[in-house]
Amino acid sequence: MKKNRLGASELYVGEIGLGCMSLGTEETKAVALIGEALDRGVTLLDTADLYDGGRNEELVGKAISGRREQVVLATKVGNRRVPGQEGWTWDASKSYILSAVRDSLKRLGTDYIDLYQLHGGTLDDPIDDTIEAFEQLKREGVIRAYGISSIRPNVIREYAARSGIASVMNQYSIVDRRAEETVLPLLAEKGIGVIARGPVASGALANGREPAKGVLDYELDELVALRGALHRLTSPARSLSQLAIRYSLGHPAVAAAVPGASSREQLLQNLAAAEAPPLSDAELEAIRGVSKANRYALHR
């Protein structure tokens, strides 16, 4: 699998990673899926302390035991669970980040994290203190690089201007092209790597799965029509899922795409995109011609 450098960091990631959120909580199945992904060339695993109340990190830790050096391990912080309360609260404070990383390390069964990401972020956060927390962890060798996972352009601009982030994880697909006008050009200019999440749009662009509802500003009939138009752009070498993943990888700012998988079939469909030919400029333009720039507003 082709590897790309993640921003200005020392991390090199396979262009197709695995978003671990949808693995489920059954240990045997989850560990097997991650193991097969690693066997097939995946290096980037993305999880978060929020997923399944920390259980996802535990499963990732079990799966990479004995294989840690093969993996670029990414996790996230900022959503704080309060014992005895439902849900979670947002906490981007330095003290919380320095505390939460220890819990993630324990669940992951490792003594360092390759990419530690702020799991959101707002303009009301103590941004300088948040940045200092990540910089301190980097100096201490607890993390190798840091980034943010956000769809908020104004937040991304602040971190791009004020911090040493290596990456931004951003939702980006054929049906969610919001980042093309704002986020992606900025990050390409700054040399910050983009990790594209949701390239098959929660299955809306997956092989053999007819959508049951619309996505973002696509009504169901529009989404069905889009899939029909995209099918005419597929080939024996590039299925609909693979076309969608290659589209996300087609932007020069994107270092990796991280589709999720809850079954071996989905995993293999996604990873086959690594062998599919990249999209030409003409093909990218054809896809943009049958899709649309989204009306759905980006969050502040």
Q: How far apart are CA 232 and CA 242, in angstroms?
A: 14
Angle at 244 between CA 54 and CA 39, to 5 degrees: 55
Cβ-contact 207, 263 below 8 angstroms: no
**SS3 state at 35:** helix
**Bridge pairing between strands 167-171 and 193-197:** parallel
212 CB contacts (<8 Å, ≥6 apart)? 220
Indicate the helix (H) or strand (E) that contains 186: helix 183-190
218 is a catalytic site residue: no
**SS3 state at 77:** strand
Closest CA to 270 of 251, 289, 256: 256
Which of these is catalytic: 12, 51, 112, 218?
51
Q: Show which residues are catalytic.
A: 51
